[in-house]
Structure 1
Amino acid sequence: MKHDIKPLIEVIPYRRRVWIAGFLKTTISSGLIATGIVSIFAGIIDHPLLKGYHEIGIMVGLISIGLSIAIITMIDHYDEKKKKEELEIIDSKIEDKAEEVAKKLVDKELEKILEGCK
């Protein structure tokens, strides 16, 4: 009786993790950080010492950078969780394969014993 063990590449949804933790995280964080830096500099340039009151640019910039840090943290937490799930799947696969090998060895030994009894 052979156990059907699927390859790890079929069991672990690695592609989704790469897109979320790689592409999506980089794109969103880069855009928000760039927006934050530009807004901060625009707010500083338009600061009351130079003209009128434009602290809103500084606030938008800080909020944008803070939001990017929050998003990066959330995605990294997701990535860590998915990596742990992958390792659990790998451990499970190793255990399944070890059981299959042990069963084959026991079956072979039983066959030898039965042949010896005949």
Structure 2
Amino acid sequence: MKHEIKPLIEEIPYRQRVWITGFLKTTISSGLIATGIVSIFAGIIDHPLLKGYHEIGILVGATSIGLSIILITFIDHYDEKKKKEELEIIDSKIEDKAEEVARKLVDKELEKILEECK
């Protein structure tokens, strides 16, 4: 009875995690932060103390930056959860591998004993 242990690369969905926590998080949060900063500066420049009345730009900017902070927090929480899952898989693999090695050593010793008995 052979017990086959799959490689970690097949067990851990690393590519999905990298795309979500790397590319997606960076792209969206950078866009939101840039929009927020531009909107805030535009709102300040057009503020009543200077000329015009565009406090909506400041509000949109602050909202955009707030959304980016929420997004980063959400994705970092997701990343932490997935990392814990990965570590659990690794621990499981280590235990499985240890059992496999122990089983092989026991089988080898049993074979020696059987050979000596003959």
TM-score (norm 1): 0.95
Alignment size in residue pairs: 118
Describe the SS at the equivalent of 2:2.
coil
List structure 1 segments (4+ residues) > 3 angstroms apart after TM superposition. Answer: none
Aligned to 1:25: 25
2:15 is the counterpart of 1:8:
no
* Gap runs ≥5 in structure 2: none
CA RMSD of aligned residues (A): 0.9
TM-score (norm 2): 0.95
CA deviations on 1:50-94 (whole Å, 9 max, x unpaired) are: 223211110110010010011011111111111111111111111
C-alpha deviation, 1:98, in angstroms = 0.7
Aligned to 2:91: 91
Aligned to 2:73: 73
- For 2:67 and 2:74, locate their aligned partners in 1 and report how far apart those are by CA, in whole Å: 10
Sequence identity (%): 90
C-alpha deviation, 1:103, in angstroms = 0.4
Structure 1 residues 59-70: aligned runs within 5 Å: 59-70=59-70
Aligned to 1:82: 82
